[in-house]
A and B are shown apart, each in its own frame.
Chain A
Amino acid sequence: MAKKSPDEVHPVKAFGWAASDPSGHLSPFSFSRRATGEEDVRFKVLYCGICHSDLHCIKNEWGFSTYPLLPGHEIAGEVTEVGSKVTKVKPGDKVGVGCLVGACHSCENCTADLENHCPQVIQTYNSIDVDGTMTYGGYSDHMVARERYIVRFPENMPLDAGAPLLCAGITVYSPMKYYGLSEPGMHIAVVGLGGLGHVAVKFAKAFGARVTVVSTSPKKEEEALKRLGADSFLVSTNMDQLKKEQFTLDGIIDTVSAVHPLLPLLGLLKANGKLILVGAPEKPLELPAFSVIMGRKTVAGSNIGGMKETQEMIDFAAKHNITADIEIIKADYLNTAMERLAKGDVRYRFVIDIANSVADIYRETTQRK
C-alpha cells in the first residue's frame, strides 16, 4: 500500500504552514484532519501564539522532531462543529487548545487531572495520535480536538492576547500553585523576562506577591518595573547586587532555557525556599550541593499542567485581566519572526493572525484563477 500524502490521510482538507527539514523554514502545507468524532470539537483557528518550543522543534534541537512538522500549541478560535456527545461547548463559542490533545485517561496521573504527566500523553504537534497518524498543530486554518482538551475562553478575554496563556500561562501558573508560591505577601523572583517571564510577573502580582525580576539585561529594568508592575529588578551578573539580596526570596520561577549558573539564584532564597525550573536547557546545569543543604532548599521542575488546571488558569487570568503582551503578525512574516525570536527580539510573544493569513492565501489563489 502506497504511503498516503498528508492531505489524503484524513477526509477533511486542511491548510497550514510547516517545516519540512531541520532548517526550520516554514512554508505553506496542505494536509488533512479527521472528521468530527462523537467527542470531538472542530473549530476555525483565529490566532496561534509562537512559543519558543515551536522554534526548538522545527530545528530539531531536542532531537525528536518528525517532518513535515506543523507547530503551534497556543491556539484560539471559534467552534464550527461539535460531536454528538459534546456538552462543554457549542458552535460559535470561543475556545482554545494548548499543548495536549490526548492521553490514556485511565492511569493515576490522568485520574488526578494531570494528563501532562501521563506516560501516553499525545502532544498537539509532532506526536502520534491514537489512530496512528501524526498530530499537526495550530499554524493551520482549523483544528479538531477531543472535548477534554478544549479550553473555553471567557467572554472578556481577547483571543489574540489570550492564546499565549495556553502554554506560557499554564507553564508558570501551575508551579506557583503546586509549590505553594501563590500565597499573598510572598516574595517571588522571576528569572528571564521573555514570553514565560512576563506572564509569570503578571500572575505573581495577581496572587499578591512581591515580585523581583532577575535578568541579564539591565535594559529591561524600566519595562519590568513600570509596565509589568514588578517591585524590583536585579541584574543576574551583578554579584554585589545579588549578595545584598541573599535570603530574601520564598521562591524563584526560572524561565531561562539556556545553561546558566544556579549558585547565585539559590543564594537569594530564604531557608526552605524553592527554585522552580520551567525553562529547559538541553545541557545539565551545575548543582552545588552545599547550596541546597544549607537552608534546606529545593530545586524543582514543572511542565505545563493538566486540562482542569489550564481552564482554571484561563478563568483566573480573565478575572484579573491578565493577557500576554503580543506582536501580531501574518503568516508571510513567520520565518522572520522565528529569526527574531531566536535573538529574543520580541515583546513578548508573536501571535499569528491565522484567519487573515488564510484569507490572504484564498484571495491569492482565487485571483490567480
Chain B
Amino acid sequence: TQHTLIRQSSRSNVRLRPIPNHQLTHYVRSSTLYINPHSHSLQCPNRPHSERDSRKEISDSIYISVEFSSNPVREKQRKMVANQPEKEHPVPAFGLAARDPSGVLSPFNFSRRATGEKDVKFKVMYCGICHSDLHMVKNEWGTSTYPLVPGHEIVGEVTEVGSQVEKFKVGDRVGVGCMVGSCRSCDNCSNGVENYCPKMILTYAGTYHDGTITYGGYSNVMVCDEHFVVRVPDALPLDAAAPLLCAGITLYSPLRYYGLDKPGIHVGVVGLGGLGHVGVKFAKAMGAKVTVISTSPAKKQEAIERHGADSFLVSRDQEQMQAAMGTLDGIIDTVSAVHPIMPLIGLLKTHGKLVLVGAPEKPLELPVFPLLMGRKIVGGSCIGGMKETQEMLDFAAKHNITADIEVISADYVNTAMERLEKGDVKYRFVIDVAKTLQQG
C-alpha cells in the first residue's frame, strides 16, 4: 500500500508518490489528510508536526509526498483576470461585465490584443442579447469565469486589418457570432463545422490560443481572426441583422442538415422567442408549411399575422395536440426549460425528426416506444460552421429576413436581462453599443 486517496481540490491535480523510510524527514500519521493550499504542506489536525516521539509508530503508517501541479494556463488566467485585465493586452477597451453569479452587469475596463496578421479589428456598433448571455452571467451552466463580458451577436465596421487578411478591408460591415477560434486541423474544422471542433473557442468566457480569457461583444471594440468574421450584406440593417449571428444560424443550420428545407415540408417550431421567431421566418422562406407550438395562446395572432406561420398549436391543449398527431415532418424545439417531449414526438409523421436547439440543464424524458414505432429521430444542433453562417446571412439578405428587435441603450442592460428572464421581449434586445456604451 503506497498511496492514500486524498480529497482533491477541483482546481489542481494532486500526484502522490511513496517515500522510502530512510528519506523521511517529516512524518504525518492520520487517517484523514488535509492539504494546506498555501504552503502545500500536509496537515493532520490532531497531531502537531513536532511530535517526533511518535516516530516508532510510523512503520505502520502510509508515507506520501504531495506535489501540486495546476493547469498553467488556468493559473495564468486566474492571476491576470484577478489583477489586471486592463494591462493584459496593448489596446485599451471597455464594456459591460458581470462580476459574479448575481449576473448584474457594470462598466468594465479591459484590453484587446494588437491586430495580428490574420486579425480583423472592428468598432462594435450593435450587439444582440442572447438568452445564453443570461445563462452565462448567472453561471447557470457552471462554466462561467468572472469578470464575464457577454455578447456573441456582434456587428460593426472594420477599422484595421492585419497584413495577411484577404477577405475584409477598412470600412466593411462585419459580424462575429459565437466562436472566435478552433483547432483548424481536425475533421470537423476541415469540413467547415468548426462549431463541433472539440477545441472550439467561444467568443466569451473561453480561453484563447494565447491563454487569455475571451471577452464578448458588450464592448466598444472587437479583434478577431478573419476566419471567424462574417460579412453583413448591404441589404441587411446592422442592428436587426446582429441576432442572426446566433439565433439565425442556430435555426438555419438544422433546417438544412435534417432536410427540413424542402418546399412543401411541414415543420413545427416550438417556442416563439428569439430563436423561434427567426426559425419561422427561415422555414417559410425555404418553402415549408410552418406550425408554431407554444404554451401561450396569446402568441397565436403574432405568430400567424406577423411572422407568417400557417398554424398554431397550444402545447397544453391535449385535444389540439391529439388532432395534430402524425402531421409534422420535423420540429425545431427552441425551448430551454425542461419540458415533455413525448407529445412532440407524437406530432411527428413516420421518419419524423425532433431537433433540440434549446438547452435545458436537466435531462429530458425520452420515451422509447414512440421512437421505435415510426423510426423517429431526436437530434441536436449547435449553431453552425463559418461557411454556413455566411451562407445564412446571404440567404437572409435575399429573402429580407431580420430579427424583430428592441434597441436599448447600454445602461438599460440589467433591466433588459430581467425582462428577458420573463420572456418579456419581442423578440431580441439589441444594445446600441456605438452610441450608448461609455467607459467606466
Interface residues of A (CB under 8 A from B): 109, 114, 117, 178, 247, 262-263, 270-272, 277-282, 284-303
B229 at the interface (CB under 8 A from A): no
Q: List 19 A-B contacts (CB under 8 A).
A: A117-B375, A178-B375, A271-B187, A271-B188, A280-B368, A280-B372, A286-B363, A287-B363, A289-B360, A289-B380, A290-B359, A292-B356, A293-B381, A296-B380, A298-B378, A298-B379, A299-B366, A301-B373, A301-B374
Known: A294-B380, A296-B380, A299-B379. 11 other contacts (CB 8 A): A117-B350, A280-B368, A284-B342, A289-B358, A293-B356, A296-B257, A296-B379, A296-B382, A298-B353, A300-B375, A302-B375
Is the Cβ of A284 less than 8 Å from the Cβ of B372? no
Q: Which residues of B contact A280 (CB under 8 A)?
A: 368-369, 372
As a 0/1 sequence over residues 172 to 210 of chain B, the CB contacts with chain A under 8 angstroms (1 = contact) are 000000000000000110000100101000000000000
Is the Cβ of B359 less than 8 Å from the Cβ of A289? yes
Most central of A109, A294, A302 by chain B CB within 10 Å: A294
Q: Count of A-B contacts with CB under 8 A?
A: 113
CA distance A300 to B360 in the complex (A): 20
B377 at the interface (CB under 8 A from A): yes
CA distance A117 to B351 in the complex (A): 10
CA distance A265 to B78 in the complex (A): 34
Is the Cβ of B377 less than 8 Å from the Cβ of A300? yes
Is the Cβ of A287 less than 8 Å from the Cβ of B365? yes
CA distance A102 to B368 in the complex (A): 24
Given contacts A278-B372, A284-B368, A289-B358, contact A299 B377 (CB under 8 A): yes
Given contacts A293-B356, A294-B380, A296-B196, contact A303 B188 (CB under 8 A): no
As a 0/1 sequence over residues 48 to 67 of chain B, the CB contacts with chain A under 8 angstroms (1 = contact) are 00000000000000000000
Dominant SS among interface residues on chain A = mixed
CA distance A289 to B333 in the complex (A): 11
Is the Cβ of B188 less than 8 Å from the Cβ of A289? no
Most central of A279, A293, A295 by chain B CB within 10 Å: A293
CA distance A194 to B362 in the complex (A): 32
CA distance A288 to B380 in the complex (A): 10
Q: Which residue of B lies closest to A271 (CB)?
A: B196
Q: Which 6 A-B pairs have the closest CB atoms?
A: A292-B380, A301-B371, A298-B379, A293-B380, A271-B196, A301-B372
As a 0/1 sequence over residues 338 to 369 of chain B, the CB contacts with chain A under 8 angstroms (1 = contact) are 00011000000010010011111101111111
Is the Cβ of A297 less than 8 Å from the Cβ of B372? no
Q: Which residues of A contact B254 (CB under 8 A)?
A: 296
Interface residues of B (CB under 8 A from A): 187-188, 193, 196, 198, 254, 257, 341-342, 350, 353, 356-361, 363-382
Nearest-Cβ distance from residue B174 to partner chain A, whole angstroms: 26
CA distance A292 to B356 in the complex (A): 8
Cross-interface CB contact of B378 among A114, A247, A279, A292, cutoff 8 Å: A292
Is the Cβ of B359 less than 8 Å from the Cβ of A298? no
Given contacts A295-B380, A297-B380, contact A117 B374 (CB under 8 A): yes
Q: Which residues of A contact B366 (CB under 8 A)?
A: 262, 284-287, 299
Q: Which residues of B contact A284 (CB under 8 A)?
A: 342, 365-368
Nearest-Cβ distance from residue A177 to partner chain B, whole angstroms: 12
Nearest-Cβ distance from residue A367 to partner chain B, whole angstroms: 47
CA distance A247 to B364 in the complex (A): 22
Nearest-Cβ distance from residue B81 to partner chain A, whole angstroms: 25
Q: Which residue of A lies closest to B335 (CB)?
A: A289
Q: Which residues of A contact B376 (CB under 8 A)?
A: 300-301
Nearest-Cβ distance from residue B108 to partner chain A, whole angstroms: 29
CA distance A293 to B373 in the complex (A): 24
Is the Cβ of A298 less than 8 Å from the Cβ of B377? yes
Q: Which residues of B contact A301 (CB under 8 A)?
A: 368, 370-377
Q: Which residue of B lies closest to A301 (CB)?
A: B371
Nearest-Cβ distance from residue B95 to partner chain A, whole angstroms: 27
Q: Which residues of B contact A117 (CB under 8 A)?
A: 350, 373-375
Most central of B372, B379, B381 by chain A CB within 10 Å: B372
Q: Which residues of A contact B373 (CB under 8 A)?
A: 117, 301, 303
Nearest-Cβ distance from residue A346 to partner chain B, whole angstroms: 23
Nearest-Cβ distance from residue A55 to partner chain B, whole angstroms: 17
Is the Cβ of B380 less than 8 Å from the Cβ of A303? no
CA distance A297 to B380 in the complex (A): 6
Q: Which residues of A contact B369 (CB under 8 A)?
A: 280, 282
Q: Which residues of B contact A272 (CB under 8 A)?
A: 196
Nearest-Cβ distance from residue B7 to partner chain A, whole angstroms: 19
Cross-interface CB contact of A299 among B359, B370, B371, cutoff 8 Å: B371
Q: Which residues of A contact B342 (CB under 8 A)?
A: 284
Cross-interface CB contact of B357 among A114, A277, A293, cutoff 8 Å: A293
Q: Which residue of B lies closest to A259 (CB)?
A: B368
Given contacts A271-B193, A281-B368, A285-B368, contact A293 B375 (CB under 8 A): no
Q: Which residues of B contact A297 (CB under 8 A)?
A: 379-380
CA distance A281 to B369 in the complex (A): 8
Most central of A263, A277, A289, A298 by chain B CB within 10 Å: A289
Q: Which residues of A contact B368 (CB under 8 A)?
A: 277, 279-281, 284-285, 301
Is the Cβ of B377 less than 8 Å from the Cβ of A287? no
CA distance A277 to B193 in the complex (A): 26
Q: Which residue of A lies closest to B384 (CB)?
A: A296
Q: Which residues of A contact B361 (CB under 8 A)?
A: 290
Nearest-Cβ distance from residue B353 to partner chain A, whole angstroms: 8
Q: Which residues of B contact A282 (CB under 8 A)?
A: 369
Q: Which residue of A lies closest to B336 (CB)?
A: A289
CA distance A294 to B196 in the complex (A): 7
Is the Cβ of B379 less than 8 Å from the Cβ of A292? yes
Q: Which residues of A contact B198 (CB under 8 A)?
A: 247
Nearest-Cβ distance from residue A343 to partner chain B, whole angstroms: 22
Q: Which residues of B contact A286 (CB under 8 A)?
A: 363-366
Is the Cβ of B382 less than 8 Å from the Cβ of A287? no
Is the Cβ of B257 less than 8 Å from the Cβ of A303? no
Q: Which residues of B contact A263 (CB under 8 A)?
A: 363
Cross-interface CB contact of B372 among A287, A295, A296, A302, cutoff 8 Å: A302
Q: Which residues of A contact B374 (CB under 8 A)?
A: 117, 301, 303
Q: Which residue of B lies closest to A282 (CB)?
A: B369
Q: Which residues of A contact B371 (CB under 8 A)?
A: 277, 299-301
Nearest-Cβ distance from residue A286 to partner chain B, whole angstroms: 4
